Structure 1
Amino acid sequence: MKKIILTGGGTAGHVTPNIALIPKLKELGYEIYYIGSKNGIERQLIEDLNIKYYPISSGKLRRYFHKDNFTDPFRVLKGVKQAASIIKKIKPDIVFSKGGFVTVPVIIASKLKKVPTIIHESDFTPGLANKIAMPFCSNVCVTFPETLDAIPKGKGVYTGPPIREEILKGNSELGYKEVGFSTSKPVVMIMGGSLGAVKINSHVRSILPSLLEEFNVIHLCGEGKVDQSLMEIDGYKQYPYVKEQLPHLFAITDVIVSRAGANSIYEFLALKKPNVLIPLSKAASRGDQILNANSFEKQGFSQVIYEEKLSDEVLLKKIKNVYDNRADYIEKMEKAKSALGLEKILELIEKKRR
């Protein structure tokens, strides 16, 4: 049987594309293994799918000064040794990486063990982990064609994002049953990412009385960020994180408010869901989400609120504006060229495996 190791972690954005590949890889006859961090979100997500999971040591790689910068390289070296041992044991035909700091030791170990590796970069510009790993990989798949300019010559492949097929199969009846909403109001879904977004959560809860006058609200607020005092409010449903029910919740959603991770926004595009994007600021990131959001706004799929300009008034106004003009956004999304990269990535995996 063919064997593949998947790796990626830290946030759901570094895991969900791998999850999208798993059913198709099984159809192609692959035995699937996963290498991730010990305590990252990826562990539970992958183990829930009954995929053999191997945790390794990993250090966070930073562009700024931090005391752990002196010790994390040793954690990375430990991770390389652990990953090499796992690769020696499994003898995979290929390794596929979705990014995140845990992947660096895996990619380096794969190179040492002469196993071909493919990386997928979601954002406009490659993240630090992928930049470090690129010299050791065989190919780099990209979501945006512009990203090819930042990839070493001969390694870049434009595939688009691997969209989870189950996201497209939501059932509105099951969605309404899950949340208990009536169908008399449109639905706004708030997504702060798998780790939540404190600032977005705060503003949403501040404008909640006004929002609920016109909308029902689904709020994916992050682990540990559910507000117990708001549990019984009619038309407002909070979740720390949603897995199986997410396609059904998308099916009843009219407008989405979200961060601007590439995987998420391409799912909104595939679902034809108008959206308000609040990208992570440059103070909290390398600015990749700003580039993602600007691209989608320019194409007419989204409206953008920069985090430093986020206020109760602006957020409420943008949500209402996008809803009122939703037909225009949907029309532009329907005309967009498909960038679903699942099949292209699978073709490359089959071509590159040893």
Structure 2
Amino acid sequence: MRLMISGGGTGGHIYPALALIDALKAHDPQAEVLYVGTHRGLESRIVPERGIDFKTIKIQGFKRSISLQNVKTVYLFMKSVVTARKYIKEFKPDVVVGTGGYVSGAVVFAASQMHIPTVIHEQNSVVGVTNKFLSRFVDKIAISFESARSQFPEQKVVMTGNPRAQQVANIKKTGALSEFGLQPDVPTALIFGGSRGAARINAAAVEAIPELNQRDYQTLFVTGQVHYDKIMDSLSTTELAANVKIEAYIKNMPAILPEVAVILGRAGATSIAEITALGIPSILVPSPYVTNDHQTKNAQSLVNAGAAELIREDDLTGASLVKALDGLMLSATHRQEMAANAKKLGMPTAADELLNVLNTVIK
């Protein structure tokens, strides 16, 4: 198979694409892959590091208010479609896949106009503007949440789950927590606001540390690189007990997830895929700053299934954080029930399911 894939801007668009590439390579080591992204997005660093052929397109998103920048956006989109057509003619893909972000709009649209089989993957419960636009042109639409089905043309939709789930589903415990001075056999709560950190989650965690110091369970608090120094300065007069560890960043986060008893963090698509694949109880604090509040809807799908608890950012304080953690960390029975419910939502073969969709559209 010759696969052209495009997704950019955030890890939520990039990691599912990488998971699909891994699945394809596992089934067909001779497969050829070309990834098309932007020169400024996260993909410009992550994809080349993986040894995947990578080309870029210059594009930007629409402003939601009336703006002259939208005139430039239309111009860049039309120009990027021309560039995408050039890449398609050179690479000659069997199928073109979009995983979200504005760059995928140009690439997948160009492919559809050239009558190349096309598939898009939607990671969230609320459909993004790019995939909403592309849904009229593509052959198949893969979704991760059932609630997204009604937002697309029904006859094109296939439930596959998020390919990222397959990458983490079979990760085993390796004692990775010991690298941070924690005991592998003691229940551990992970507080993590995403790769860049989350200011409100960090502030609540800092406020909670005096209480967390006194708990029998362990806490691993990951601040994000940009917040770490400021947080450590604010804690300069606070003694950290041996059961509380603070890190700026964890390079291989999936490696520690099987050893975590509870996660408190955001409700992005990648996080949801990982915690359901592994069956980890979670306390979700959706970001209120994302389009259409989709993280709240992502989180609510887990809450409805008894797989997570939800704290709105406005309600998150040190006290509410400790109360939520205590409710799970001090009750193994509650954690086990929630873990089982989370596991039921996981789709450990999601990448293979999406790969099957690609095979059905290739003529």
| TM-score normalised per structure 2 | 0.88
User: Cα distance 1:205–1:337, how it changes in 2: closer, same or farther (>3 A)?
Assistant: closer
The equivalent position to 1:249 in structure 2, one of 245, 256, 266, is 256
RMSD, matched Cα: 2.4
Question: Is residue 273–residue 346 contact of structure 2 (8 Å, CA) maintained in 1?
Answer: no
Question: Is residue 16–residue 99 contact of structure 2 (8 Å, CA) maintained in 1?
Answer: yes
Runs of 4+ in 1 over 6 A off after TM superposition: none
Matches within 5 A, 1:78-227: 78-183=79-184, 185-214=186-215, 215-227=217-229
Matches within 5 A, 1:1-354: 2-26=1-25, 27-28=27-28, 29-66=30-67, 68-183=69-184, 185-214=186-215, 215-227=217-229, 230=232, 235-240=244-249, 242=251, 245-281=252-288, 284-323=290-329, 324=331, 325-336=334-345, 338=347, 340-354=349-363
For 2:13 and 2:159, the matched residues in 1 are separated by 18
Q: Which amino acid aligns with 2:257?
A: F
Where 2:136 maps in the other structure, the secondary structure is helix
For 2:166 and 2:158, the matched residues in 1 are separated by 22
Please, which moves more after superposition, 122-131 or 232-241? 232-241
Where 1:188 maps in the other structure, the secondary structure is strand
Displacement of 1:273 in angstroms is 0.7
User: Cα distance 1:127–1:201, how it changes in 2: closer, same or farther (>3 A)?
Assistant: same
For 2:107 and 2:275, the matched residues in 1 are separated by 31
Unaligned residue ranges in structure 1 (runs of 5+): none
Deviations 1:82-124 (A, max 9, x none): 2221111111111111111221111122123221110011112
Unaligned residue ranges in structure 2 (runs of 5+): none
| TM-score normalised per structure 1 | 0.90
Where 2:164 maps in the other structure, the secondary structure is coil
Question: Is residue 169–residue 247 contact of structure 1 (8 Å, CA) maintained in 2?
Answer: no
Question: Is residue 36–residue 55 contact of structure 1 (8 Å, CA) maintained in 2?
Answer: yes
Aligned-residue identity in percent:
27
For 1:84 and 1:159, the matched residues in 2 are separated by 28
For 1:348 and 1:166, the matched residues in 2 are separated by 18
Q: Which amino acid aligns with 1:252?
A: E
Displacement of 1:140 in angstroms is 0.8
Question: Is residue 37–residue 103 contact of structure 2 (8 Å, CA) maintained in 1?
Answer: yes
